[in-house]
């Protein structure tokens, strides 16, 4: 028990007195809004006050403990942010490889400490820029990469053995990771020296982000290939970034984000053990996570704290992991794009700062802060700089990094953390009963739960029950002009020409052999990674590799659930 | 007013997977009493135009957040026109900068809805501007 009996007894008397006082006051002057509207952005009801009785059943050693100790509620590292701040990692990519490389160098010069790659839609979906399906998309939402030549330009001058690079890439993750490995080898950097992350989380694609290629089972097989390859040859690489970010952006509540993401993680753990026969402690320490930090300050802090405790418990008890590094939930956080508004865009700086502070108080290890203009277009240099400075101000001015997990022991934060954990486990058990996440996805379960939440939220905004400043309150008539970045349609023409030049000069026979080798590995169930590295070195394109997967495994189409 | 319901196709052209707006609108149109067809993500303009004709819809609502609307929206409108289906109203929404509105209107789109538009305002626009065809 968390409190001595005398404390709870005296608290109970004082609480009664307080409740009487509240009743009297409310009878005179009613609250500003009815009881049910005092809730989180996810519609979790919040009480007027929390006290000792809200956390009376907690056990200090089992439920809270110390940083670096089970259940890691208070963080994985004993030293907190004193040894090292979170990694300042701004997601960026635009136009062609050269333009993105320039942005990367600018960010590193401004004090960014890790890189994060945004690819354009054709690359994300495994199509080359010259595909009819890619028309109009080149370079618009990220950088266009077709072959290793583009990739070499992307990492030009980047110290690959020192800076870690994250790549948001999913169905074609094997191809793009192979390019990173090949680029390192060409530069003479051994695979054991490179570090970074590939997102490589297909389950959340089926659930939310919809970057789709092959059906769920072979998609998970390709992911297990990367986990196995990383475990054996690229030990500093995080081969999956199990992501709640996109689940949340698609409209999920904080609890749904937490539950679906962690259940996805469990699905990958089970698949690697079953399909690859690896021991859980061989690969689990390299699993990483990626969460959203939305606008509801305490809900986000509670979610991140709960995530660490759920994962540690699941890894220790459900999968019998022995190595404490397997129990650690290591995660990146990004502030919520969907919380930003096109109206009065400068207000977005305030939203992002609040969300970033929540991520830090929740103990994130890596952070992307959105730029004020991201709701309208790719971020401009100036907007990115403000976003990066936001992190630096939080780290070095606010004092938020002075002490570890400063909100621990707060009646409210601990109670909310417990509540989110409980509700997440309910979802996790429900998905277990359905036969796991792949089965749940096939039933449309997480997709429709998210649709319900998204639709409810939109109706609440329309009814002014949830407030978005500038959208449904304090609306101003005139628009605030801000400079917008536009990717010229000429980028597409130039990229197509570059791809065609590569195709003309490469050794066609070598490409064909390399692609045939991937196909045969797919058919035999072998690990595709070594063959992908050979293929990209022969200048096979992203689409050529993905076409092999589509041919062998079949294509998956969005069922269009709503 | 006839009792005939508005038949709407909510469509996601291109490679963009940001479907929150499209899914929320599909539900909203259903609740407003429209007949709704939702294509799911990753449709080519050709697929959308031919499905709209086959399904005999009154209106196609295109959603795109990737920046490719400048190519994709006009492509759908053009294909419908070429196939003699220019009586199908085409509207669009998503992350559409204001400077692109005219290009889309010139291509035949009748309305553009951007973040901040309420569900009710969109339904009202449909009720006022789209006639269920006989």
pLDDT for res B134: 66
Task: Give the phi and the psi of residue A225 in degrees, each rounded to 5.
Answer: -60, -45
Residue among A137, A249, A455 whose CB faces B68 most closely: A137
C-beta neighbour count of A1 within 10 angstroms: 11
Query: Given a cut of 90, is residue B3 above it in pLDDT?
Result: no
Residue among B27, B71, B120 whose CB faces A451 most closely: B27
SS3 content of chain B, % helix, strand, coil (to 5): 40, 20, 40
CB contact B41 to A (< 8 Å): yes
Cβ-contact A151, A502 below 8 angstroms: no
Q: Do B95 and A377 touch (CB under 8 A)?
A: yes
Cβ-contact A285, A326 below 8 angstroms: yes
Is CATH 3.20.20.240 correct for A84-459? Answer: yes
Residues 30-49 of A with CB under 8 A from B: none
CB contact B76 to A (< 8 Å): no
Residues 209-248 of A with CB under 8 A from B: 209-212
pLDDT for res A377: 81
- The fourth-level CATH superfamily of domain B7-128 is Cobalamin-binding domain (3.40.50.280)
d(CA B100, CA B72): 13
Residues 136-155 of A with CB under 8 A from B: 136-137, 140-141
Provide the shortest C-alpha distance from residue B132 to chain A (in Å). Answer: 23
d(CA B123, CA B116): 14
Q: Do B28 and A562 touch (CB under 8 A)?
A: no
Provide the shortest C-alpha distance from residue A122 to chain B (in Å). Answer: 7
Q: Among A118, A137, A478, which would you mutate to test the B interface (most chain B Cβ atoms within 10 Å of its Cβ)?
A: A137
Residue among B66, B98, B115 whose CB faces A121 most closely: B66
3 state SS of A506: coil
Cβ-contact B15, B71 below 8 angstroms: no
Query: Given a cut of 70, is residue B42 above it in pLDDT?
Result: yes
- Spatial CA neighbour of A66 closest among A76, A74, A77, A57: A74
Query: Given a cut of 90, is residue B67 above it in pLDDT?
Result: no
pLDDT digits (tens, 9 = 90+) for A244-273: 999 999 999 999 999 999 999 999 999 999
Q: What is the ipTM, given to two decimal places?
A: 0.95
Instruction: Give A211's contacts in chain B (Cβ within 8 Å).
Output: 17
Residue among A133, A210, A484 whose CB faces B97 most closely: A484
Task: Give the phi and the psi of residue A208 in degrees, each rounded to 5.
Answer: -140, -55
Residue corresponding to tokens 């709407």: B8
Q: Do A137 and B66 touch (CB under 8 A)?
A: yes
Query: Given a cut of 70, is residue B66 above it in pLDDT?
Result: yes
- Spatial CA neighbour of A557 closest among B65, B19, B40, B54: B40
DSSP string of A26-93, one letter each residue? HHHS--SS-GGGSB-TT--B--S---GGGGTT--IIIII--TTSTT-TT-S-TTTTTT-PPEEEEEE-
Instruction: Give B66's contacts in chain A (Cβ within 8 Å).
Output: 121, 137, 140-141
Query: Given a cut of 60, is residue B1 above it in pLDDT?
Result: no
CB contact B107 to A (< 8 Å): no
d(CA A11, CA A381): 54
Residue A42's Cβ-count burial label (10 Å; 0-12, 13-18, 19+) is buried
Provide the shortest C-alpha distance from residue A135 to chain B (in Å). Answer: 7
Residue among B17, B24, B28 whose CB faces A210 most closely: B17
Query: How is chain A split into domains, by residue range?
Result: 5-61, 84-459
Q: Do A455 and B42 touch (CB under 8 A)?
A: no
pLDDT digits (tens, 9 = 90+) for A52-78: 999 999 999 999 999 999 999 999 999
| pTM (2 d.p.) | 0.96
d(CA A416, CA A465): 22
CB contact A121 to B (< 8 Å): yes
Residue among B24, B42, B95 whose CB faces A458 most closely: B24
d(CA A550, CA A552): 6
Query: Given a cut of 80, is residue B2 above it in pLDDT?
Result: no
Tell me how many residue pairs between chain A and chain B have CB atoms under 8 A apart. 112
User: Which segments in chain A show pLDDT lower than 50?
Assistant: none
CB contact B105 to A (< 8 Å): no
């Amino acid at each position: 028990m968390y409190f001595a009996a005398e404390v709870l007894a005296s608290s109970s008397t004082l609480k009664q007195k307080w409740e009487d006082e509240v009743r009297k006051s409310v009878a005179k002057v009613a609250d500003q809004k009815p009881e049910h509207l005092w809730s989180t952005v996810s519609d979790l009801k919040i009480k007027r006050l929390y006290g000792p009785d809200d956390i009376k059943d907690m056990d200090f050693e089992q439920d809270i403990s110390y940083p670096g100790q089970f259940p890691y509620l208070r963080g994985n590292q004993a030293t907190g942010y004193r040894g090292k701040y979170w990694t300042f990692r701004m997601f960026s990519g635009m136009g062609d490889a050269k333009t993105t490389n320039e942005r990367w160098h600018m960010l590193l010069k401004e004090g960014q400490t890790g890189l994060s790659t945004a690819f354009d839609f054709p690359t994300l979906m495994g199509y080359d820029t010259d595909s009819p399906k890619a028309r109009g998309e080149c370079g618009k939402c990220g950088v266009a990469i077709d072959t290793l030549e583009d990739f070499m330009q992307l990492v030009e001058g980047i110290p690959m053995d020192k800076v870690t690079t994250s790549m948001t890439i999913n169905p074609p993750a094997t191809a793009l990771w192979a390019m990173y490995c090949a680029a390192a080898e060409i530069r003479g950097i051994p695979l054991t020296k490179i570090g970074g992350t590939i997102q490589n989380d297909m389950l959340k694609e089926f659930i939310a982000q919809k970057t789709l290629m092959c059906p769920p089972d072979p998609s998970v097989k390709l992911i297990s290939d990367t986990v196995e390859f990383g475990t054996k040859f690229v030990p500093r690489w995080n081969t999956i970034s199990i992501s709640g970010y996109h689940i949340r952006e698609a409209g999920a509540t904080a609890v749904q984000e937490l539950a679906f993401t962690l259940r996805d993680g469990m699905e990958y753990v089970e698949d690697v053990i079953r399909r690859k026969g690896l021991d859980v402690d061989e690969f689990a320490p390299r699993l990483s996570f990626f969460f959203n930090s939305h606008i509801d300050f305490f809900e986000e802090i509670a979610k991140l704290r709960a995530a660490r405790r759920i994962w540690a418990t699941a890894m220790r008890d459900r999968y019998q992991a022995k190595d404490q590094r397997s129990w650690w939930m290591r995660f990146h956080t990004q502030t919520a794009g969907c919380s930003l508004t096109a109206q009065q865009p400068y207000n977005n700086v305030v939203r992002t700062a609040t969300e970033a502070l929540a991520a830090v108080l929740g103990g994130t290890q890596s952070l992307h802060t959105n730029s004020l203009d991201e709701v309208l277009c790719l971020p401009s240099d100036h907007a990115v700089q403000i976003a990066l400075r936001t992190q630096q101000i939080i780290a070095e001015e606010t004092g938020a990094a002075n002490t570890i997990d400063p909100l621990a022991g707060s009646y409210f934060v601990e109670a909310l953390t417990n509540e989110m954990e409980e509700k997440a486990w309910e979802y996790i058990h429900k998905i277990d009963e359905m036969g796991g996440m792949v089965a749940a996805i096939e039933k449309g379960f997480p997709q429709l739960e998210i649709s319900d939440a998204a639709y409810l939220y939109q109706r609440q905004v329309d009814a002014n029950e949830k407030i978005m400043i500038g959208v449904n309150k304090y609306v101003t008539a005139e628009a605030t002009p801000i400079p917008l970045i536009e990717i010229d349609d000429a980028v597409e023409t130039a990229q197509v020409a570059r791809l065609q030049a590569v195709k003309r000069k490469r050794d066609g026979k070598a490409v064909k052999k390399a692609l045939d080798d991937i196909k045969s590995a797919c058919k035999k169930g072998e690990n595709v990674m070594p063959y992908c590295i050979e293929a990209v070195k022969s200048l096979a394109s992203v689409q050529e590799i993905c076409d092999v997967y589509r041919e062998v495994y079949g294509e998956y189409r969005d069922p269009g659930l709503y | 007013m006839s009792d005939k319901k508005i038949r709407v196709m909510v469509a996601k052209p291109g490679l963009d997977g940001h479907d929150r707006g499209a899914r929320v609108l599909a539900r909203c149109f259903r609740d407003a009493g429209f007949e709704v067809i939702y294509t799911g993500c990753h449709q080519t303009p050709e697929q959308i135009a031919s499905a709209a004709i086959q399904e005999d819809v009154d209106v196609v609502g295109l959603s795109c957040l990737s920046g490719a609307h400048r190519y994709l929206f006009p492509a759908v409108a053009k294909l419908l026109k070429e196939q003699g289906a220019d009586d199908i109203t085409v509207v669009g929404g998503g992350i559409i900068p204001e400077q692109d509105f005219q290009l889309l209107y010139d291509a035949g789109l009748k309305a553009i809805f951007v973040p901040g538009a309420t569900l009710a305002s969109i339904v009202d626009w449909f009720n006022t501007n789209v006639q269920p065809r006989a």
